[in-house]
Structure 1
């Protein structure tokens, strides 16, 4: 069983867990063995191009957590012994030579450490010398654990370890090195938690949709009169991040977190941080092309909207919400973009991305001759304009003809609308027309049909309601 051992490092909030999560991308068999991590790579070497290529990726200089040292061996105990030896002794012995296992110092075997003084007085200082002793005498004097360890080290007994399994929910604490009195300064510690979150997401092949950052205040210096909405728990604060799409982009989450922390006032210094995932989704693997991928300029639309909402406030970034009503001015409502469900936010972003192309096609059609419009309108009825006026503009009438920068030529219509009977708003009794203006182009106008008039007799009030742009 080829094994690789690397020592754990103190560079993250939970260094052992972070290093183990990072190692899961190379093999599913990762275990914490005393002061090191054990990676069983016999089934993974070919996937990464051989053992040498796998070791290069394990020891690459741009590794995000910390530099690592490693040792390898036919069994985990041999790899652990090589790791505990000095580099000079390992180089002199040669890890690939079987005799090097017999020459390993006895203190590198964990099971032999409690008996080192006794074994030293007997002149036993290497694995080979210990293995040469009678097994029955070793068991009677030192117990069966020492003999079992030797058998596992030489591959004569199977090795069993509790392989690492990732938790279902990411929840990592962090004790700050010093008290932090400014909320934007919390981003420095939050980056370490975000780096650990990225390892967890990649190992589980999931993307985060919603997460929270918690911080604990120094209760001795807290001022209850200055606790704001972020500190409803008194000595604790909470900030929630939501994204429109499940993501593993830690840089985007870091920018969102920085924008929101800039708007937080801390009533007391912060001592501890904690990050927890509230909602995650499985990410579908992306099929890559054999051809070189085109470079995508800039960020996606929903990333930009999320940053604007975090910087300006969610009430300042609005989107259109469709409403079931036949009256054009009531067909949509404006509401904060972040109040929509994540799937609705993603769908809206995709729709806006393709809106420019559809708008140009509609503009090209409306600028053509009148004849091509007849089949379209006869099939679908009145075409809603590109731009709708906030308040309809009343048009002057001359010789029973509506005017707007000159007389208007009615092209299509009428399209009769009668709606609004069941709510408190005024009902709409209108006849819509498509009209052409020499200066303004295609317009959407309607004629009021007042309820007091005789049925079938049109009114005289004309209004401009939309413009085809």
Structure 2
């Protein structure tokens, strides 16, 4: 089933200068000294499209006036197109700030056209823009419906009925002939389509007929699809000096939407992202502040990255106001295929656990969330090594095996052995300790930290079990008082 989404951004010039997540005291955009678009506050103050600069300043001196910047508008439209790539790899740019999305192959993946349209609107809102959505079986039909106010028409017949009710001036080739069409009573697209084709072609040219045929599905449509670059980098200029990290997170979400689209269309997953907070330039220039997120498990959606950035930015102390954001993805890898297991793991997938660890590390600090990294060493202090959960474990090595019949190891190993008192030739820890196992001798570390110890399992009067050792000193005889240490606790 071929289905298209037309996405028209009617307020793009205004929103380029007045994003929805920033404070707006009233903004208007000028084109050739005439108001092209005005915000809600500016309209309340009396500024309307079509008003000249002098009239706008007279009505509302406090309203901010900006000259239209086609380059910034093109950058904003490109940012929206990059975000839309997460829904379909076939995105084309249409006339008059409109994007066309071929979503026929994406319906099943996203749960149908209603759900897909809701996701497109949510992504657009995250980017800080407003748009008009239309759905139609043809690209030109979706474009016309989007320019005419939006709506969904899933069949050719219903689409044709809706198209024929739209104003004829929505057809760009018909606008130069508006006076002639009004003179003969052709006010709608349907009126123009019902005119004799030979006469309409002689009067208005072939381009108008081609557009009508494409809209009705009677002619092939050719598109130049938007291509994602080989590497990702997105920049956002802030409209004021920002010192609130909440506003920075809102801006970062806009950049993450573009990253999500880029990852999906390139079939990649990101392992490391860097958010650069740009500060003042010129004489007081200072290097940008880098916020780096390292992921133990590569992802290609933005929800987890948003949570991690929120935790990192909440703890960040800004040394200077921020005027711009730059998001980079320096480390990516091919997207992993979906799991082919019939029954999912009851306790959650490996990716779910890794995301939980990353969130804890962002909130508590990387040094407080550790993972076991056992080493091939008989010495307990060296065999039980721990690394931050975000670090990659070294290549697997053979871990020192316990000897046959060896003693069990305790659940809790103390960071540093505790010297014990000796009373009546017995170690003492709250109460006299009684040895309940034979000795296990460990002699290792002659190359760095020599250890010669006899380990025992000891029991106290409270029936708790301890892992203790007796240090064997070189040259000591049986009459020498021996030193005892507590090294571990059994559960």
Structure 2 Cα separation of the partners of residues 164 and 204 of structure 1: 12
Structure 1 Cα separation of the partners of residues 468 and 387 of structure 2: 28
Aligned with 2:359 (options 277, 284, 303): 303
Structure 2 partner of 1:6? 7
TM-score calculated relative to the size of structure 1? 0.67
Does 2:474 match 1:451? Answer: yes
Shift of 1:155: 3.3
Structure 1 Cα separation of the partners of residues 343 and 172 of structure 2: 51
158 and 169 in structure 1: CA distance in 2 versus 1, 3 angstrom threshold: same
Shift of 1:379: 3.7
240 and 317 in structure 1: CA distance in 2 versus 1, 3 angstrom threshold: same
1:163-182 equivalence runs, <5 A: 163-181=225-243
RMSD: 4.7
Aligned with 2:169 (options 97, 107, 113): 107
Measured against aligned partners, the alpha-carbon deviations of 1:392-414 in whole angstroms (never above 9, x if no partner) come to 42452636x55556654433222
Structure 2 partner of 1:63? 122
Shift of 1:452: 2.2
Structure 2 partner of 1:388? 413
Does 2:281 match 1:219? Answer: yes
Does 2:271 match 1:209? Answer: yes
Aligned with 1:461 (options 465, 479, 482): 482
Q: Does the 8 A contact of 2:4 with 2:142 survive in 1?
A: yes
Structure 1 Cα separation of the partners of residues 109 and 386 of structure 2: 52
Structure 2 partner of 1:264? 318
Does 2:133 match 1:78? Answer: no
Structure 2 Cα separation of the partners of residues 405 and 29 of structure 1: 73
Structure 1 Cα separation of the partners of residues 460 and 326 of structure 2: 63
Does 2:331 match 1:279? Answer: yes
Measured against aligned partners, the alpha-carbon deviations of 1:351-376 in whole angstroms (never above 9, x if no partner) come to xxxxxxxxxxxxxxxxxxxxxxxxxx
Structure 2 Cα separation of the partners of residues 302 and 41 of structure 1: 34
87 and 45 in structure 1: CA distance in 2 versus 1, 3 angstrom threshold: closer
Structure 2 partner of 1:186? 248
SS in 2 for 1:388: strand
Structure 2 partner of 1:350? none
Structure 1 Cα separation of the partners of residues 254 and 205 of structure 2: 45
Q: Does the 8 A contact of 1:448 with 1:460 survive in 2?
A: no
Q: How many residues matched?
A: 404
Structure 2 Cα separation of the partners of residues 95 and 113 of structure 1: 26
Q: Does the 8 A contact of 1:77 with 1:109 survive in 2?
A: no
Shift of 1:159: 0.8
453 and 245 in structure 1: CA distance in 2 versus 1, 3 angstrom threshold: same
Measured against aligned partners, the alpha-carbon deviations of 1:397-448 in whole angstroms (never above 9, x if no partner) come to 636x55556654433222121112112x3x2222222232323632223333
Shift of 1:7: 0.8
Structure 1 Cα separation of the partners of residues 211 and 248 of structure 2: 47
SS in 1 for 2:113: helix
Structure 1 partner of 2:457? 434
Does 2:92 match 1:31? Answer: yes
Structure 1 Cα separation of the partners of residues 205 and 147 of structure 2: 24
Structure 1 partner of 2:61? none
Structure 1 Cα separation of the partners of residues 412 and 484 of structure 2: 15
Unpaired stretches in structure 2, ≥5 consecutive residues: 20-74, 397-401
144 and 449 in structure 1: CA distance in 2 versus 1, 3 angstrom threshold: same
Structure 2 partner of 1:368? none
Structure 2 partner of 1:54? 113
Structure 1 partner of 2:193? 128
Structure 2 partner of 1:422? 447
Q: Does the 8 A contact of 1:402 with 1:408 survive in 2?
A: yes
Q: Does the 8 A contact of 2:83 with 2:260 survive in 1?
A: no
TM-score calculated relative to the size of structure 2? 0.65
Q: Does the 8 A contact of 2:249 with 2:310 survive in 1?
A: no
285 and 436 in structure 1: CA distance in 2 versus 1, 3 angstrom threshold: same
Structure 1 Cα separation of the partners of residues 267 and 238 of structure 2: 29
Structure 1 partner of 2:22? none
Shift of 1:308: 1.4
Structure 2 Cα separation of the partners of residues 22 and 211 of structure 1: 17
Structure 2 Cα separation of the partners of residues 300 and 100 of structure 1: 49
Q: Does the 8 A contact of 1:103 with 1:127 survive in 2?
A: no
Q: Does the 8 A contact of 1:387 with 1:467 survive in 2?
A: yes
Q: Does the 8 A contact of 1:104 with 1:127 survive in 2?
A: no
Does 2:309 match 1:254? Answer: yes
Measured against aligned partners, the alpha-carbon deviations of 1:273-302 in whole angstroms (never above 9, x if no partner) come to 1212233453554689999x9999999344
168 and 253 in structure 1: CA distance in 2 versus 1, 3 angstrom threshold: farther
